[in-house]
Amino acid sequence: MLKKLTATTLAATMVTVAPVGAAEARARPKAPKGVSAASAILYDATAKKVLWKRNAGKRMPVGSMNKVALAMVVLDGGGLGRKIKIRQKYKDWVDDWGASNSRLVPGDVLTARQLLEAMLIESGSDAAYALAEAYGGTGGHLGAQLKMNTLAKRLGMKNTRYTSFDGQPAKGDGTTAADQLKLARHAMKNKTFASIVKTVKKDIVSETGRRYPLRTHNLLLRGSGIDEDNTGYPGLRGIKTGTTGTAGACFMFSARRKKHTVYGIVLKSSSGEARFQDTVKMLDWAYGTRTAVTLTPAPPRLRGE
C-alpha cells in the first residue's frame, strides 16, 4: 500500500485554509519553518519583492527543470504544428540514463506541440531529445543548448550554464535558484507554456494513431497522483519538477492567491515528497494561511510500459 503523506502537521484528507488574524500575522516568523531545501527563493510578483531566500546564489544542477529553458527555445522558434519523427536514439537515451520518458515509439510521428506536452507534463526526456534536435538547427541538440544559453544570457541569468538539454548530469551544467526564478517568471508569460504546465493528465495521439497517456509529476496539482486523489494546493499554477541523483529533488512553482502571484524555487529538498512539503510551507508563509494537502504519489512507471 502506498504511503500517504501530509504536507503540514495538519494530517487531513481535505484542504483547509485558515486566514491568519492580525495578532497571529504580527507573530509570524521571519522565515518559513521546516523547509528542507538546500537552496530556495520565494518572490511576490504582485508586490515585486523577494520574500525569503536561502543560498539563492549557490550554483547547482536542477535536473529536468532544464526542460523549461528548452521549452522556451521551442516556443520562441514557433511552428508547433511541424511533424517530428521519433528516432531510436531518443529511446536509447532514456534507457541508458534511466530518465523519465513518455515511452515514445521509434518511427512514430508527432507534432512539436504534442512533444512539448510530453516533455512538460510527463517530463519525457525522449520528447526533449526530439525537440532539441528539431529546434537546434544544424547543431542538433548541441545547437538547442546554445540557444538555451543565449536565452539565459538575455534574461540576466548570470550564473547559469546549460550543457544538458534535459537535465541529465553533464560537466559544467548548473544554475541558481535566483536565476531559475527569472526563467520561471519569463516562461509563465507565455500562454501556451502556462496552459501546459498546469495540466494534470492528457492523452496525445500520434499520426499513426498510437495513443500516449501523459501524467504530471507535480503532486500539488489537484487530481494528480494515484487515483487522482491528491487535494492539491489552492491557486497553484504549475510549473516543473526536476530530479536526478546529482540534483536531488527540485521544484519550480507559482501560485495566485489573495490577489498575489507568488513564484518559488526549491533545490535539493530532502526527498521527492519533501519538495512539495517545502513548497506548501513556503506558500502558506507567504499568504499567511495554513493548508493541509494530502499527497499520494503515483506508482513509478516502468520503462517501455
Q: Does the pLDDT at position 299 exceed 80?
A: no
**pLDDT tens track for 102-127:** 999 999 999 999 999 999 999 999 99
The vertex-96 CA angle with 93 and 102, nearest 5°, equals: 50
Q: Which residues pair with 211 in a beta bridge?
A: 205
pLDDT of residue 229: 78
Residue with cell 535539493: 268
Written as one letter, the residue type at 44 is D
How far separated are the first and last CA of the chain, in Å rounded?
A: 21
DSSP 38-96: SEEEEEETTTTEEEEEESTT--B--GGGHHHHHHHHHHHH--TT-EEE--HHHHHHHHH
As a whole number, the mean pLDDT across the chain is 90
**pLDDT tens track for 273-296:** 999 999 999 999 999 999 999 888
Query: Among 197, 155, 210, 194, which residue's Cα sits nearest to residue 178?
Result: 155
Q: With beta carbons less than 8 A apart as the criterion, state whether 130 and 114 touch.
A: no
Domain 15-295 is classified in which CATH homologous superfamily?
DD-peptidase/beta-lactamase superfamily (3.40.710.10)
Q: With beta carbons less than 8 A apart as the criterion, state whether 168 and 94 touch.
A: no
C-alpha cell at 159: 550564473
**pLDDT tens track for 176-226:** 999 999 999 999 999 999 999 999 999 999 999 999 999 999 999 999 987
Q: Please state the pTM of the whole predicted model.
A: 0.89
Residue with cell 530556495: 40
- The pLDDT-based confidence of 2 (bands split at 50, 70, 90) is very low
Domain ranges of the chain: 15-295
